[in-house]
């Protein structure tokens, strides 16, 4: 009787979960690799895209690409990496005294510590997420959304986009888009190319998918926290925090007419520790921390209308709702285990209770 009852209850919960939508990590391509372009999903995504008006430039090599002599780069390529050419990329917030706080490469198991610190400082950030990490840390992504942070794309595998074909760029962005939508229901609007590696060909492809490109203000506002993971000491960590703190304070003392956008990472324990130590500088420098959507005065930080209960990237919520869809993870034995959101669980248990009473 116990086995039969458990199976019945689980079947009821599974039915309710299916009605709401599930995320299954096993249905996505291998992590940390450029997705193949011959899958049914990518073929479908490519079907209605026309690349005829996309500029044609030779693909670069290297991860990240190495810069050739400037004279060897076509002037109209507008390659941000090597020509410091932003075209219409976002590099600054629109209002002075605003700090556009961004983190790349997550979500990771280290992100929750950062979320705690952001909450303690009443600060909201934009997280440029990697699809490969999204499918392995779905619950963390849901927590970012629940805490009111803004989610944007950082591609699937963190491969430099100027080294990829048009079709591969689509695969990188659309798989990441699908992962985030399956988990949160949010359709991302902003993206940051890995290493900031973008040119006019990549921009043209990205725009066809509805994305707005966000870089960072300048090299001074790249925290270079990523380098700390190579082997840091307390002295090197403190020095890095001091350097970035001084940059922020100097800006705060003379903010000019626009805000700034910084680059940090929630990838490693040391980068999270770096971020935690840097957050108090906002108050010292009289800077207002905002998400990218907020700092651009974009009241609609996602494509389309977010589902009820989700943030819109501007720090607002769109109504009541639970924290996300069901998540199906393959366990070590190859079976599926289900993580069901709070509102869905309550509904499922009510149905299950009625079923049990009828047995």
Residues that are catalytic: 104, 265
Residue 128 β-bridge partners: 104, 152
Q: For the purposes of burial, counting CB atoms within 10 Å of the CB of 18, is it exposed (0-12), middle (13-18) or buried (19 or more)?
A: exposed
Residues 211 and 177: beta-carbon distance below 8 Å: no
Residues 307 and 115: beta-carbon distance below 8 Å: no
Cα–Cα distance, 108 to 138 (Å, whole number): 9
Nearest one of 137, 131, 82, 88 to 109, comparing CA atoms: 137
Q: Please give the span between the terminal C-alpha atoms of the chain, in angstroms, as a whole number.
A: 10
Contacts (Cβ under 8 Å, ≥6 apart) of 264:
101, 102, 103, 104, 223, 225, 271, 274, 275, 278
- Tell me the CA distances in angstroms from 354 to 4, 12, 109, 345, one per residue in order: 16, 11, 38, 14
DSSP result, 158-212: ---GGGS-HHHHHHHHHHHHHHHHHHH--EE-EE--GGG---HHHHHHHHHTT-E
- Tell me the CA distances in angstroms from 356 to 4, 10, 14, 338, 341, one per residue in order: 11, 12, 16, 21, 22
Cα–Cα distance, 137 to 105 (Å, whole number): 12
Q: Phi/psi of residue 355, each to 5°?
A: -70, -40
Cα–Cα distance, 327 to 341 (Å, whole number): 9
- Tell me the CA distances in angstroms from 229 to 101, 130, 223, 270, one per residue in order: 20, 19, 13, 6
Number of C-beta neighbours around residue 37 at 10 A:
17
């Amino acid at each position: 009787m116990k086995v039969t009852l458990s199976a019945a209850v689980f079947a009821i919960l599974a039915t309710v979960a299916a009605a709401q939508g599930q995320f299954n990590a096993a249905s996505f391509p291998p992590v940390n690799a450029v997705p193949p372009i011959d899958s049914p999903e990518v073929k479908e995504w490519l079907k209605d895209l026309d690349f005829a008006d996309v500029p044609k430039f030779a693909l670069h090599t290297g991860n990240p690409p190495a810069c050739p002599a400037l004279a060897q780069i076509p002037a109209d390529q507008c390659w941000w990496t090597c020509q410091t050419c932003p075209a219409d990329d976002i590099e600054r917030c629109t209002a002075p005294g605003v700090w556009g706080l961004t983190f790349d490469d997550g979500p990771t198991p280290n992100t929750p510590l950062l979320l705690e610190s952001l909450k303690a400082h009443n600060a909201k950030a934009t997280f440029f997420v990697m699809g490969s990490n999204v499918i392995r840390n779905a619950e963390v992504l849901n927590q970012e959304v629940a805490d009111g942070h803004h989610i944007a794309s950082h591609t699937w595998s963190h491969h430099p986009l100027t080294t990829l074909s048009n079709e591969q760029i689509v695969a990188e962005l659309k798989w990441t888009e699908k992962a985030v939508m399956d988990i949160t229901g949010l359709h991302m609007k902003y993206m940051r190319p890995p290493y900031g590696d973008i040119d006019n060909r990549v921009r043209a492809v990205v725009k066809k998918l509805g994305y707005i490109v966000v870089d960072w203000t300048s090299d001074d506002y790249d925290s270079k926290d990523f380098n700390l993971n190579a082997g840091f000491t307390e002295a090197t960590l403190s020095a890095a925090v001091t350097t970035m703190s001084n940059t922020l304070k100097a800006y705060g003392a003379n903010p000019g007419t626009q805000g700034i956008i910084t680059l940090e990472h929630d990838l490693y324990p040391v980068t999270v520790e770096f971020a935690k130590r840097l957050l108090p500088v906002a108050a010292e420098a009289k800077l207002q921390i905002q998400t990218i959507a907020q700092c651009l005065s974009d009241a609609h930080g996602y494509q389309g209308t977010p589902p009820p209960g989700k943030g819109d990237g501007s720090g607002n919520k769109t109504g009541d709702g639970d924290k996300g869809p069901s998540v199906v993870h393959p366990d070590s034995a190859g079976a599926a285990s289900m993580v069901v959101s709070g509102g869905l669980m309550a509904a499922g248990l009510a149905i299950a209770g009625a079923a049990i009473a009828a047995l």
